[in-house]
């Protein structure tokens, strides 16, 4: 691509590239079209399910059929429907295939591409309709979504900047540089109502306003891509599927606050995201969209990647800054805030935002604050100049949630704020997996809390979640069923925060350990009722006294499960029973008279704890049993019970 040295050059690049997406952004769905794009998901999940090999096979058969000039195989970012991956979408035919394996490539090419006949067995079965459908817009999973920050994921090839430009990429940056003053950009973001999508929910525009107000020669803008909440993967998907949106947004932010340098702090555990982002930065630099005098203006800006090294606390902005400086990622008290001189990267004024926040910014600039703030359930109060003053209720825009756990449609969903949990779990998520009963959803990961059946109809926004004792967090939603033990979940999260506590402040370092010890006793059947009171009081003390967000929120899973599932705790401490049957010390496995002596369990048992002759009832030696459950999974008569 030629260097883009002016706004006209960007327009020319757009005109030259827009044909790239002609087959994909169209309402004219046509199975008979000679030209086709086969879009294949190249996200981490599908990658792990052999999507790479499948793509190679598709290319091979296309070549064998002499179609390589008309049919392109394109690797895109994540479609979000991870439960059904690997995903293949053929355009302009508008046909969506699921769970496509390498060996299916031949049939797709020969039947669909050559023979114009859909491969029925690879179409998605819509549970509500009980029939196979090919149009993704009719799938309940997609129908209620509104994809803004995920707009390019599953549409463009993230390794080609031309395709990003073809879908109006960098137009928002041009608009800022040529039509708007930095103050105007800040106001636009402020009035859009967008709040930090990393979890804390601080208004992004306000953050930018504060940073812009600091007068200094050296200022930094940082992207927090240290997605540490286990179970949340939207930031990873955006970086893998649409890295240019982050670059463009950071450039916009830099222009707005007056920064010269950008840094992306990204987890080393996401190698694919790192490589895609690096490719995008290199390409943007090569065509002059990063570097000196961007698009011929006097605005210069460049971005550098900083790798994390596996520390959850580095998601906290002061810890993140220390880590970028090559130190231990320990937080410091605020103020000074990163925006203040002395508080940021090398003591310079620094503005930190999250990946998902950035991904929404170009859309806000292009469509305007008043477009964005009407999405969702936001009710703001405006000042005399018509600018944002305060939030009365609700939140603006959309939020991406990562659905995982005991749910049918594991994946990424983007919905307007104010959508209810019921809609997310049942309409989009397809309900609890295995036909089990819904128990709770854990939001906000190790810093969050649970939402129970009673609150399924609460519209989801920052304020409402806080009211019911949870937090938005980064948007991880772990669905739990009746077979999940709530004290054990709380223990799991606590084990995580205890492990990730940086050790700087005492409440977090020692407090999380003491709480974990109590939780272990409870789950092992050695707890007392007094312990529940001690646990609660210690939890509240830690909330009040820990130095940073990690420690202050570490007790949330405990307090929230104590609040909603006290009965389960009492069953553990009073009756020494685990109602969900998951705490290994609180049950034994026994074989009932239903046993037909098929010997399957005996063969499955990894420790040889089961004895018995063929066609005779078998017996489990409880002293040897490690409660792995392999016998239960294999028993054809369901004759092995927990008790």
**CA atoms of 477 and 470, how far apart (whole Å):** 11
The reply to whether 329 sits near another protein by the rule CB under 8 A is: yes
The least CB distance from residue 84 to another protein, in Å, is: 8
Which one of the spans 13-21, 80-88, 153-161, 456-464 is the region binding another protein (CB under 8 A)? 80-88
Residue closer to another protein by CB (options 306, 399) is 306
Q: Which residue has the tokens 């090398």?
A: 346
144 contacts 415 by C-beta, under 8 angstroms? yes
Q: Is 69 helix (H, G, I), strand (E, B) or coil?
A: coil
Could you tell me how far CA 257 lies from the centroid of its own chain?
27
DSSP 449-516: EEEEGGGTTSBPSHHHHHHTT---TT-EEEEEETTS-HHHHHHHHHHHHHHH--S-SHHHHHHHHHHH
In terms of CB distance, is 52 or 367 closer to another protein? 52
628 binds another protein (CB under 8 A): yes
Work out which of 236, 399, 498, 572 binds another protein, going by CB under 8 A: 236
**Is the backbone peptide bond immediately before 86 cis, with ω within 30 degrees of 0?**
yes
Which of residues 232 and 365 has its CB atom nearest to another protein in the complex? 232
Which range of residues in 211-219, 253-261, 490-498, 506-514 is near another protein by CB under 8 A? 490-498
Give yes or no for residue 607 binding another protein (CB under 8 A): yes
Task: Check residue 306 for interaction with another protein (CB under 8 A).
Answer: yes
| Residue 635 neighbours by CB distance under 10 Å | 21
For residue 513, count other CB atoms closer than 10 A to its CB. Answer: 12
The token duo for 36 is 């086709």
Give me 559's structure tokens: 């307090």
For residues 434 and 408, is the Cβ–Cβ distance under 8 A? no
Q: How far is the CB of 606 from another protein (least distance, A)?
A: 6
Candidates 42, 77, 85, 258; binder of another protein (CB under 8 A) is 85
List of residues 6+ apart from 383 with CB closer than 8 A:
389
| CA distances from residue 478 to 432, 435, 484, 500 in whole angstroms, order as listed | 11, 16, 11, 20
Residue pair 381/389 in contact (Cβ under 8 Å)? The answer is yes
Instruction: Single out the residue of 74, 75, 66 nearest to residue 34, CA to CA.
Output: 66
> Among the candidate windows 78-86, 136-144, 207-215, 254-262, which touches another protein by CB under 8 A?
78-86
Burial letters 534-548, b for 16+ CB under 10 A, else e: ebeebbeebbeebbb
User: Which residues are bridge partners to 452 per DSSP?
Assistant: 440
Q: Which of 309, 303, 255 is nearest to 277 (CA)?
A: 303
| DSSP string across 455-473 | GTTSBPSHHHHHHTT---T
Does 487 bind another protein (CB under 8 A)? Our answer is no
Instruction: Tell me: does residue 580 bind another protein (CB under 8 A).
Output: no
Please answer whether residues 399 and 415 qualify as being in contact, where contact means their C-beta atoms are separated by less than 8 angstroms.
yes
Judged by beta carbon, residue 205 or residue 445, the one nearer another protein is 445
Query: Smallest gap, in angstroms, from Cβ of residue 440 to another protein?
Result: 11
The residue count for binding another protein (CB under 8 A) is 60
**From candidates 122, 254, 410, 639, binder to another protein by CB under 8 A:** 410
Which CB atom, from 123 or from 307, has the smaller least distance to another protein? 307
Binding test (CB under 8 A) with another protein, winner from 12, 143, 268, 286: 268
Which residue among 19, 115, 213, 310 contacts another protein (CB under 8 A)?
Answer: 310
Kindly report the number of other CB atoms within 10 A of residue 312's CB atom: 23
Cβ-based nearer residue to another protein, 149 or 323? 323
Which of 32, 130, 326, 530 lies at the binding interface for another protein (CB under 8 A)?
A: 326
Minimum CB separation from another protein for residue 328, in Å?
4
Q: Is residue 405 close enough to count as binding another protein by CB under 8 A? A: yes
Stretch that binds another protein, among 111-119, 309-317, 332-340, 541-549 (CB under 8 A): 309-317
48 binds another protein (CB under 8 A): yes
Closer residue to another protein, CB minimum distance, 376 or 429: 429
Of 101 and 377, nearer to another protein (C-beta) is 101
Token pair listed for 417: 């704020």
Candidate residues 102, 127, 231, 380; the one interacting with another protein per rule CB under 8 A: 231
The contacts of residue 452 (CB under 8 Å, 6+ apart) are 439, 440, 564
- The answer to the question of residue 418 lying near another protein (CB under 8 A) is no
**The one among 227, 242, 316, 568 contacting another protein by CB under 8 A:** 227
Residue 630 near another protein by CB under 8 A: yes
Q: Candidates 33, 57, 323, 398: give the one binding another protein (CB under 8 A).
A: 323
Q: Interface residues with another protein (CB under 8 A)?
A: 44-45, 47-49, 82-83, 85, 227-233, 236-237, 268-270, 306-312, 323-329, 346, 402, 404-406, 410-411, 442, 445, 476, 478, 480, 484, 489, 492-493, 496, 502, 604, 606-607, 626, 628-630, 633
């Amino acid at each position: 691509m030629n260097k883009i040295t002016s706004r006209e050059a960007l327009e020319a690049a757009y005109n030259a590239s827009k044909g790239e997406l002609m087959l994909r952004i169209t309402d004219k769905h046509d199975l008979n079209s000679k030209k086709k794009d086969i879009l294949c998901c190249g996200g981490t999940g599908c990658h792990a399910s052999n999507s790479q090999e499948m793509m190679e096979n598709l290319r091979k058969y296309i070549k064998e059929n002499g179609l390589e000039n008309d049919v392109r195989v394109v690797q895109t970012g994540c479609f979000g429907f991870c439960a059904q991956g690997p995903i293949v979408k053929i355009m302009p035919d508008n046909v969506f295939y699921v769970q496509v394996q390498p060996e299916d490539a031949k049939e797709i090419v020969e039947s669909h591409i050559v023979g114009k006949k859909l491969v029925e067995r690879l179409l998605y079965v819509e549970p509500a309709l009980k029939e196979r459908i090919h149009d993704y817009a009719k799938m309940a999973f997609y129908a209620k979504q509104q994809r803004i920050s995920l707009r390019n994921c599953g549409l463009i090839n993230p390794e080609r900047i031309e395709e990003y430009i073809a879908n109006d990429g960098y137009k928002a940056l041009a608009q800022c540089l040529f039509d708007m003053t930095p103050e105007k950009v800040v106001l636009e973001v402020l009035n859009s109502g967008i709040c930090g999508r990393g979890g804390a929910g601080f208004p992004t525009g306000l953050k930018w306003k504060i940073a812009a107000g600091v007068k200094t020669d050296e200022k930094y803008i940082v992207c927090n891509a240290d997605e540490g909440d286990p179970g949340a993967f939207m930031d990873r998907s955006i970086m893998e599927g649409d890295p240019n949106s982050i670059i463009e947004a950071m450039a916009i932010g830099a222009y707005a606050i007056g920064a010269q340098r950008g840094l992306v702090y990204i987890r080393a555990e996401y190698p694919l995201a790192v490589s895609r982002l690096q490719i995008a930065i290199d390409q943007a630099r090569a065509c002059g969209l990063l570097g000196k005098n961007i698009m011929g203006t006097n605005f210069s800006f460049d971005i550098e990647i900083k790798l994390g090294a596996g520390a959850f606390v580095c998601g906290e902005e002061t810890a993140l800054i220390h880590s970028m400086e090559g130190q231990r990622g320990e937080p410091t008290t605020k103020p000074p805030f990163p925006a203040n001189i002395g508080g940021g990267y090398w003591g310079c004024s620094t503005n930190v935002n999250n990946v998902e926040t950035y991904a929404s910014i170009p859309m806000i600039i292009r469509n305007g604050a008043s477009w964005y703030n009407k999405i969702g359930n936001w009710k703001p109060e405006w000042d005399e100049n018509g600018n944002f003053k305060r939030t009365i209720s609700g939140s603006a825009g959309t939020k991406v949630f990562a659905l995982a756990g005991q749910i049918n449609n594991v994946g990424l969903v983007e919905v307007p704020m104010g959508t209810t949990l019921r809609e997310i779990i049942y309409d989009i998520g397809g309900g609890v997996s295995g036909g089990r009963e819904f128990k709770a959803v854990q939001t906000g990961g190790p810093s969050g809390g649970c939402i129970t059946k009673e609150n399924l109809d609460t519209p989801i926004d920052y304020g409402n979640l806080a009211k019911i004792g949870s937090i938005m967090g980064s948007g991880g939603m772990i669905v739990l069923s009746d077979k999940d033990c709530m004290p054990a979940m709380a223990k799991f999260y606590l084990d995580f925060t205890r492990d990730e506590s940086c050790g700087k402040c005492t409440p977090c370092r020692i407090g999380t350990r003491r709480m974990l010890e109590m939780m272990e006793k409870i789950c092992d059947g050695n707890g007392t009722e007094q312990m529940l009171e001690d646990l609660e009081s210690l939890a509240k003390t830690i909330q009040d006294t820990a130095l940073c967000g990690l420690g202050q929120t570490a007790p949330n899973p405990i307090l929230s499960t104590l609040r909603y599932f006290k009965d389960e705790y009492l069953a553990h401490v009073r009756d020494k029973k685990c109602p969900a049957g998951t705490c290994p010390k609180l049950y034994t496995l026994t074989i009932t008279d239903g046993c037909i002596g098929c010997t399957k369990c005996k063969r499955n048992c990894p420790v040889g704890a089961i004895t018995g002759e063929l066609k005779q009832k078998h017996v489990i030696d409880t002293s040897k049993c490690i409660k792995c459950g392999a016998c239960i999974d294999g028993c054809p008569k369901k004759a092995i019970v927990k008790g």
